[in-house]
Amino acid sequence: MVLDSSAVIAILYGEPEQRHFNSLIERDPVRYMSALNLVESSIVLLNRDEELGWGEVDLFVAKAEIEIVAVDGNQTEIARAAFRRFGNGRHRAGLNIGDCFSYALAKARAEPLLCKGDDFQHTDIEIIT
């Protein structure tokens, strides 16, 4: 699976999906996250709570054994195409830049995407919610 920032934030903030998402992660031996989404999650946490900062994200990634995947040329092109097709202001999915890179990694690795919300259900990738 590929983890979107929305899933990571939901877990770290103890949102209602936390237990369900943790269970899904535990059951799937393949766990990827885009480096861009790691930064995005860290920024969201830092802006919401200075005390949590990067440390909580890094600890979660380590404990869950999530592989952080560097953005490559293929993902970049997939993300660009995703924005053109599903981007905010262009499509009801309304993908932002972080969403486009989660989408790109899921497409590139042919893995389902763990996410919160309904943005990705309006795209053509397999999602786990």
First to last CA, the chain: 11
Q: Is residue 63 classed exposed, middle or buried when 0-12, 13-18 and 19+ CB atoms within 10 A define those classes?
A: exposed
CB contact at 8 A, 95 and 83: yes
Q: Which two tokens stand for residue 30?
A: 């393949």
User: pLDDT tens across 51-80, in order?
Assistant: 767 788 999 999 999 999 999 999 999 999
Domains and CATH numbers, the chain: 2-117 (3.40.50.1010)
Q: What angle do CA 11, 17, 18 make, to 5 degrees?
A: 35
Print pLDDT tens along the chain (129 aa).
999 999 999 999 999 999 999 999 999 999 999 999 999 999 999 888 777 677 889 999 999 999 999 999 999 999 999 999 998 776 676 799 999 999 999 999 999 999 998 888 889 999 997
pTM, rounded to two decimals: 0.92
